[in-house]
Amino acid sequence: MNVLIIGGTGLISTGIVKALLARKATVTVYNRGQTDDRLEPAVQRLHGDRNDFATFEKSFASSKYDAVIDMICFKPDQAASDIRAFAGKCGHFVFCSTVCTYGNTQTIVPTTEATPQRPHSEYGKNKLACEKTFLDAYHTGAFAGTGLTILRPSHTYGPGGSIINNLGWGPTFVDRLRKGKPILVSGDGHGLWQSAYSEDVGVGFAAALGRKACFGECYNIVADEVVTWDDYTRRTAEGVGAPPPKIVHAPTDLLLRIDRKRYQGLDEIFQFHGVYSNDKIHRDVPEFRNVTPYVEGVRRTVAWLDQHNKLQPWDSDPFEDKIIAAIEAIKV
């Protein structure tokens, strides 16, 4: 199989490439060449700016692929460019969307692919607009016989990425765990969350390619396991090799009033449950399996972060210590 990946060097993309190479596929990636590249030498690299639509589309004017995966399509004009570039020139087109297209006030848990999409964030709104652009082209024949599949990941982690916490992407989280510092968690810590390992998700993407049962379909591609944010924090500490953490709860509204910009991730994503059904993809792509235990995945991710000096010491950002001290001071 001859596969092109638009993007190709990100967290999920790297897992996809690894899975495709294991399947003896020929893999080409197209990107600006500005992201750390952890890919094997066997991968062909093409460099360019996909937002220069005329040049991007011309680059593939004479190309044919069995499958194309777009990992970095975030706006509908980019989706329209994909359609012009690849209609009739690939057997299967896969768009990486997101569960953020559903919106974050979940009324169906777990959320299925049939749930109405009402995105909350600009990211989710733009991804939904891309989905509609692709689906309209597919159903009206503008994709010229090319199969279309939309995959919606949720939180995905692994080497090359960070370790999030309930408040966002703070780079001091791991060191706070290691040093036994208190960890701030919003609400009562009982919000629900799923975390899938990047290489497991990559296998799902790769295994879906060329599968006609997946044409015209949308899938959540997420973890099986659901945990509370308190449990997430404790298990992350275990993966880091840290002692069980002291968790301090703070009202979400209070944290957002203190610094909404700092806690943008909490505002848009982490204050809400994030629980999605993966029954449909397990049915149609049984090769997709969440085989990497969370604690082991964290261990591998933190080893990569340490190796590449991506972590920061806990005391480089004392902001949350001030909040914790204030909360501790008013406890009865």
DSSP, res 101: G
On whether residue 106 sits in a domain, the answer given is: yes
DSSP, res 183: E
Do 40 and 150 lie in a common domain?
yes
Do 110 and 190 lie in a common domain?
no
List, in sequence order, every residue forming a beta bridge with 148; answer none if it has no partner.
93
C-alpha dist (Å) from residue 275 to 44, 100, 322: 37, 11, 32
Output the pLDDT for position 274. Answer: 94
How high does pLDDT run on average in the chain? 96
DSSP, res 157: E
Residue-by-residue DSSP string for 200-214: HHHHHHHHHTT-GGG
On whether residue 278 sits in a domain, the answer given is: no
List, in sequence order, every residue forming a beta bridge with 47; answer none if it has no partner.
31
Do 81 and 211 lie in a common domain?
yes
On whether residue 58 sits in a domain, the answer given is: yes
Q: With both helix axes pointing from N to C terminus, report the angle between 252-259 and 319-330 in degrees, rounded to the nearest 10.
A: 140
Output the pLDDT for position 35. Answer: 79
* Confidence tier at 37 by pLDDT (50, 70, 90): confident
The average pLDDT across 12-17 equals: 97
Percent of the chain past pLDDT 70, that is, above it, reads 99
Residue 299 CA to residue 197 CA, distance in Å, equals 12
Residue 35 CA to residue 252 CA, distance in Å, equals 34
The average pLDDT across 77-95 equals: 97
The yes-or-no verdict on residue 332 having pLDDT over 70 is no
Residue 262 CA to residue 242 CA, distance in Å, equals 26
Token representation of residue 291: 């085989």
User: What are the tens digits of pLDDT across the range 260-300?
Assistant: 999 999 999 999 999 999 999 999 999 999 999 999 999 99
CATH of residue 32: 3.40.50.720
Residue type, 195: S
**Phi, psi (degrees; rounded to nearest 5) at 29:** -115, 145
Do 120 and 242 lie in a common domain?
no
On whether residue 34 sits in a domain, the answer given is: yes
Do 169 and 114 lie in a common domain?
no
* Confidence tier at 145 by pLDDT (50, 70, 90): confident
Token representation of residue 280: 């449909």
Output the pLDDT for position 290. Answer: 98
User: What are the tens digits of pLDDT across the range 201-253?
Assistant: 999 999 999 999 999 999 999 999 999 999 999 999 999 999 999 999 999 99
The yes-or-no verdict on residue 106 having pLDDT over 80 is no
The yes-or-no verdict on residue 331 having pLDDT over 80 is no
Output the pLDDT for position 233. Answer: 98
Residue 25 CA to residue 162 CA, distance in Å, equals 29
List, in sequence order, every residue forming a beta bridge with 26; answer none if it has no partner.
2
**Phi, psi (degrees; rounded to nearest 5) at 271:** -75, -15
**pTM recorded for the entire structure:** 0.96
On whether residue 284 sits in a domain, the answer given is: no
Domain housing 152: 2-156+196-221
Output the pLDDT for position 251. Answer: 96
CATH of residue 264: 3.90.25
The yes-or-no verdict on residue 36 having pLDDT over 90 is no
